[in-house]
Amino acid sequence: MDALEPEFMFDTQVDIEQQVAHLAANGQMHYLDKYLYALRRRFLWREDERWLREVKAGAISISEFDARVAARDGQREQENRSHWLSVYERIRQLASYLEHTGSYHHGTLTRRLRERFGRSVRLLREHSSGGLILELDGGPNVGSGQKLEDGLALANFVCALADEVTVTPPDVHCYFAAVDQATTRLNAAASPSIPACRRIETIELQEAGLI
């Protein structure tokens, strides 16, 4: 406990090299993992634990450990950002396509989506809700839990979601917040974002036997 007694040992503004050196001077380097967690309240990945063993062995400094962690986390953040930007772009492409596809019949829509997007997009009926969803290759199931009964309801939801992700940060939590917002907009009786004429025009075309 003597190694942890000085107040500076839990001051996050103090140079970490000084804190770890004090731990080493008191022969307590075997507590380095637990000390860092207590100091920073940050989960240590297995890779972090492996690098910390190198610190304990004197192979690298604690500053080098922090540099490796920062580089790794930065790369993960960039990969995550790129992934969700790609998902958002695919949702916008789907919205544009569905808005002008000309038919919302399940079979016709399935065929046209396959022709346009190949196997990267699949129109399915969700087992849990019974609603239509779009399964994106490497992405989320668009429409999951929404109970979208037909192709038109799916198209309206995708269009609303496309509007939302245009101004949504590329992140999984932000994506689901956009889903909630799109749902709220669709449920609003006078939402300006959902073109009411789209449903009317489609019904008229169906009645006329044109689609």
Give the residue carrying structure tokens 């380095």: 32
Does 201 fall in a domain? yes
Q: Are residues 87 and 51 in the same domain?
A: no
- Domain that includes residue 183, residue range: 79-207
Helix or strand run (H / E) with residue 88: helix 62-99
Phi, psi values for residue 184, rounded to 5°: -60, -40
Residues 12 and 94 in one domain: no
Do 51 and 125 lie in one domain? The reply is no
CB-CB contact of 156 with 200 (8 Å)? no
70 occurs within a structural domain? no
Q: What is the pLDDT of residue 202?
A: 40
Q: Check residue 45 and report its DSSP letter.
A: P
3-state secondary structure of 122: strand
Looking at the fold, whether 197 and 93 belong to one and the same domain comes out as yes
Identify the pLDDT of residue 209: 46
Confidence (pLDDT) at 189: 38
Count of beta carbons in the 10 Å neighbourhood of residue 11: 12
Domain co-membership, 97 together with 166: yes
In a domain, 13, yes or no: yes
pLDDT digits (tens, 9 = 90+) for 83-117: 999 999 999 999 999 998 888 999 999 999 999 99
Looking at the structure of the chain, the number of domains it has is: 2
98 and 190 share one domain = yes
Question: Does 190 share its domain with 108?
Answer: yes
**Span 131-181, pLDDT tens digits:** 999 999 999 999 999 999 999 999 999 999 999 999 999 999 999 999 999
Q: 188 and 147, same structural domain?
A: yes
Calculate the alpha carbon distances from 134 to 97, 101, 115 in Å.
13, 15, 15
Q: Are strands 121-125 and 132-136 parallel, antiparallel or unpaired?
A: antiparallel
- pLDDT number for residue 187: 87
pLDDT at 186 over 80: yes
Query: How far is 69 from 72, CA to CA, in rounded Å?
Result: 5
